[in-house]
Amino acid sequence: MEEDLDLLQEATEEAEAAEDSRALYEVKMKFLGRTGKVTALLKSMKDIAAEARPAFGKKVNALREAIEEKFAAIEERLKGRELEKKLAGEKIDVTMPGKRTKKGALHPVTRVKDQLIDLFSGMGFEVFEGPEIETEYYNFTALNTPADHPARDMQDTFYLEAGSGQKESLLLRTQTSAGQIRVMEKKKPPIKILSPGRVFRSDDDATHSPMFHQMEGLVVDKGITLCDLQGMLDEFAKKMFSETSKTRLRPSYFPFTEPSVEVDVSCASCGGKGCSLCKGTGWIEVLGAGMVNRRVLENCGVDPDVYSGFAFGMGIERIAMLKYGINNIKLLTENDVRFLEQFED
């Protein structure tokens, strides 16, 4: 029994050997737990002669306190070491080079589209977006281009297989002009809308792509004339290309406008003197336009004897190519970052 009172050394050695607080807990239990060695000593008191009991009890209590103290000191040391280890794991090296996230940039087509919307909304135009899948009626017939009209060939396109119960063929729209009809059917003059969107044609070379974007404009009110169109186009050319840009109208033909014009802008690259970009002419064709054909107004229930209007349609890729000197339309859809990076702010 007496030698058991020397447990302090044993307990200290075992506790010192504990590698972490979990192992120390095991040692604690071994000595001070319910079935621990010190607890056993306390329980053995009843077997000791009554007169020796107080002295024995005192010793056991002193032993317990001494062991508890040791354990507490060792526990503190272990906890300190563990905390240090945890903090070391969380340490941040502030001298490490940072990871640079690259800022994206708007695609040139989006950029030009946004600039056009900005420019024209400043003149009071509202944006209307029509569907990309159209009926023949909106894309051609209502635009004064009946089924046998040769102008349909120029815009030969992608037809969709007719579904059951479907009266009319559907197609991928060839022009945002389809939106003119949709707007005039819903809204009575005065009308001033801008309609951006994707269009599709079976065309494919360095300056034509089977899918491209157009920006359509339509103004209908009392007393609208070709002069209003030209005034507005001059403003557009100055804001879009350069302060000194001029426009010129050349006679053209579109079934849905009468008269129809092709609009050229003076070459911003050579200032109109003639260069390779404008093929020596000093002018660059940028859009088609004209006075809305009476038949189109009639098709939409607008009285052509009271109202008149003009419409224009431009290719957004074409404007982007002119503005940024891009020589092949394919570059715009290839998604090559080396090309796209050049448009970062």
Tell which positions 160-189 bind ligand PHE, by CB under 6 A. Answer: 175, 177
Enter the tokens of residue 47. Answer: 């077997």
Q: How far is the CB of 174 from ligand PHE (least distance, A)?
A: 7
Residue 247 found at the interface with ligand PHE (CB under 6 A): no
Q: How far is the CB of 292 from ligand PHE (least distance, A)?
A: 8
Interhelix angle 108-121/316-324, rounded to 10 degrees, is 110
Q: How far is the CB of 109 from ligand PHE (least distance, A)?
A: 17
71 or 256: CB nearest ligand PHE? 256
240 or 263: CB nearest ligand PHE? 263
Residue 311 found at the interface with ligand PHE (CB under 6 A): yes
Residue 241 found at the interface with ligand PHE (CB under 6 A): no
From the list 196, 197, 288, 309, which residue makes contact with ligand PHE (rule: CB under 6 A)? 288
Part in contact with ligand PHE (CB under 6 A); list of ranges 8-16, 74-82, 122-130, 285-293: 285-293
From the list 31, 236, 307, 312, which residue makes contact with ligand PHE (rule: CB under 6 A)? 312
Residue 36 found at the interface with ligand PHE (CB under 6 A): no
Q: How far is the CB of 136 from ligand PHE (least distance, A)?
A: 15
Residue 290 found at the interface with ligand PHE (CB under 6 A): yes
Whole-angstrom CA distances from 145 to 140, 149, 150, 296 are 5, 6, 8, 10
Cα–Cα distance measured from residue 56 to residue 46, given in angstroms and rounded to the nearest whole number:
11
From the list 145, 257, 266, 308, which residue makes contact with ligand PHE (rule: CB under 6 A)? 257
177 or 245: CB nearest ligand PHE? 177
Cα–Cα distance measured from residue 299 to residue 224, given in angstroms and rounded to the nearest whole number:
19
β 247-254/211-221 pair status: unpaired
27 or 171: CB nearest ligand PHE? 171
Residue in the structure block whose two tokens are 């702010």? 345
Residue nearest to ligand PHE (CB): 313
Residue 289 found at the interface with ligand PHE (CB under 6 A): yes
From the list 24, 313, 316, 321, which residue makes contact with ligand PHE (rule: CB under 6 A)? 313
Residue 300 found at the interface with ligand PHE (CB under 6 A): no
27 or 220: CB nearest ligand PHE? 220
Q: How far is the CB of 172 from ligand PHE (least distance, A)?
A: 13
> How many Cβ atoms from other residues are within 10 Å of residue 270's Cβ?
14
Q: Are 292 and 309 in contact (CB under 8 A)?
A: yes
Question: Site residues (CB under 6 A) for ligand PHE?
Answer: 175, 177, 216, 254, 257, 288-290, 311-313
